[in-house]
Structures are given as C-alpha cells and as structure tokens.
Structure 1
C-alpha cells in the first residue's frame, strides 16, 4: 500500500503541474478565501479519484467524458459571469455571509469535479489502480493533486494581496471564460449537430441571463452610491 501511495502521489503531483486545475485553483484563490477553495478541491478530488479507482481497479473500464466536459465548461461560464457580477453584502445583508461562503464552496467543488472527469490525472489514476493497491492509489493520487493545487492557491493568495479588487475580478472572469471555451470545445469535438446546437444555445442563454444580472447589479450599486453621497 505504501509503495502504491508514494507512486501515485508522485505521478499525480507531476501530472498536475501546469494543468488547467492548477490555473483554476489560482484563479479561485484570487477572489475567495483560500481555505474554502482548498477544502472544496479536496472534497472534489477525493470523490473523483474514488470513481477513478473504482473503474480502474474493480471494473477495468473507462467512462465517456465529452458531455461532462461540456457541463464543466458551462459551469465555468456561469462562474465567470458570477465573478463579474460580484456579491454585495451591506449592513442589511450581513447575515448572508455564511450562505455566500457555502455557495462558493459548492460551486468550486462542482466545477472541479466536472473538470477533472476525463482529465489526464483521472486517466492516470485509473491506470495506476489497475495494477496497484487501490487504497494506496486513492490516497496517494488525492494527496498529490491537493498538494499541487495548494501551491497554485498560495500563488493566487500572494497575487491577490497586490492587486486591486476590480482588476482581480476582471482577470478571474477572463480566466473562467477561457476555461469555459477550452472545456466546451474539447467536449464538442466529434459531437453530433444536435449536441453542438444545444450547447451553443445553452451558452447564449446563460450569457444573456448573466449580462442582465450584471447590468442590474451595476444599477443597484450606482443607486446605493448616490444615496450614500446624499446622506
């Protein structure tokens, strides 16, 4: 078990370096509390690698990932629009703080879970589980990915301390949109025309709703600022 754990840790840690998951972790850390991001990544990684070990060790099968890649891309698009919209916590809304934190946790966890399904780290974990102790592979692969993403989170925290809030929000949104395009394109390669049409329609609808909400939020902030000046 120890040998499988160490082998899996090393393989997944190296495979994760420079991967989109590291970039995602850094992007989230620019905007939100590092411990929430790390906890969400840990939960998502534990679940994904449990699935990987199950398929690799017990079934010896792989899973279709095109649809999951598209869903992950749509999740990235939503989170990018959410980042541009921002969260308002005035005196009357302070009680919402814990709910906002919970929503960030579940959003990050879901995004990482979907993004990792079919990723090279998942495929590597499946391969390792076919010939090694499944428990060692599960623990080692999970720790390896969490460790690599923790490095990216550290970088994001350091950058966030030296950048203005609006710059961080715009930069994070741009990265989320890039992830969305990356994942959706990857998922649509070789897809049928109805699937492509449905995905593009979903992109248009999500973008349209997001723009409306962003404009509404901007008007509300402008109104609040004007009211504060009057006072």
Structure 2
C-alpha cells in the first residue's frame, strides 16, 4: 500500500504544471470532448508507466542493493531539482494528428509527451525502489489522472488559482526527502 500511496502523491504533485498537464488543457480547448480525452490520457499513461515500471524492476534486479540504493537516492534528489524547473509545452506534442480522432490523438500525444518526462522517470525510480511494480504503476496512473482530469474540465480556472511554484516546491521537497531517506537506508527500502 505504501508503494501505491507514495507513487500517487509524488506523481500527482509532480504533474502539476507539467507539459502533459498543459497538453490536457490544450486538447480540451481544441476538441471540447472531455470523455475521450480522459480515456486517452488513461490509456497512454497505463502503457507508458507500465513500460517505465518494467524498466525500474529490471534496474532493481540488475544492480545490487547497495548500488541501487545510491542510484535511486541520487535520482530522487535529481528529480527534486528538476521539479523546480517549470515545464513549457513542446510544440511537437501539441500538434496532434486529427485523423486519429479525439481519443487516438490524445493517446498518441500523451504517450509521446510522457517519454522522458519527469513523471515517467519518477515511475522508473519508484519501481526500482519498491518491489511491487503493479502498485507503483497503479499509483502513478492514479496520480496522473488526479492531476489531469481536473485540467481537462477546469484547466484555465485551476491555472489561475493554484500557485505552480508552490506545488513544484512541495513536490521537490517530497522527492528530496525520499532521496535522503533512500541514501540513509531508512525505512523498508530493501
């Protein structure tokens, strides 16, 4: 349960103001069909994060526990720093091929936008840290949905009322704490 809850919280906070959240707002404004957009986000996230979870599980097996602890701890600290850098929407991700319809365009755009993104890399690190990859992938997917579903429905309103630097600061602090705890080998890490 810890893997699910930590994964959900970290990704939900990490996704705030992220380029994929901006993509959700753009898709909602362009298509004005929230249900296929939300379903597309879900499918793309499950596919992307399942692959990231598998990579994280492989990394955990390929490295010994001591090396893995250092790699994960430093990765979490790097993620903390990365969270403090605001995202901007990539022009390529915003340009969807409309011939695939709303759902298909959303799946393709979201999957591609998530490649190498903070939340995908966080999923790899979380899957390497926790042994229950399924709980990590479920948690990161729920976190993505918690951040992006409201963005589809209320994007402009949310963006005006929520301080993105504050949200990024909180997410950075959580990543930093996870990094330090991992490096100190505190808790049920390995």
The question of whether the paired residues in 1 share the 8 Å contact of 2:23 and 2:93 is answered with no
The question of whether the paired residues in 2 share the 8 Å contact of 1:29 and 1:157 is answered with no
The question of whether the paired residues in 2 share the 8 Å contact of 1:30 and 1:157 is answered with no
Q: State the 1:59 CA deviation.
A: 3.8
**What are the within-5 Å matches in structure 2 for residues 72-91 of structure 1?**
73-74=91-92, 76-79=94-97
Q: State the 1:157 CA deviation.
A: 8.6
What CA distance in whole angstroms lies between the structure 2 residues aligned with 1:73 and 1:110? 14
1:37 matches 2:55 = no
TM-score normalised by the chain length of structure 1: 0.51
Measured on the aligned residues, the alpha-carbon RMSD in Å equals 2.4
1:190-220 alpha-carbon deviations (Å, 9 max, x no partner): xxxxxxxxxxxxxxxxxxxxxxxxxxxxxxx
1:81-122 alpha-carbon deviations (Å, 9 max, x no partner): x6xxxxxxxxxxxxxxxxx7x622111100100110100000
- Give the 3-state SS of the residue equivalent to 2:95 in structure 1: helix
Larger Rg over CA atoms: 1
**Partner of 1:53 in structure 2?**
53
Q: State the 1:155 CA deviation.
A: 1.2
TM-score normalised by the chain length of structure 2: 0.61
What CA distance in whole angstroms lies between the structure 1 residues aligned with 2:91 and 2:26? 15
Q: Which runs of 5+ in 2 are unaligned?
A: 63-89, 159-190
- Give the 3-state SS of the residue equivalent to 1:127 in structure 2: helix
What CA distance in whole angstroms lies between the structure 2 residues aligned with 1:114 and 1:129? 20
1:115 matches 2:133 = no
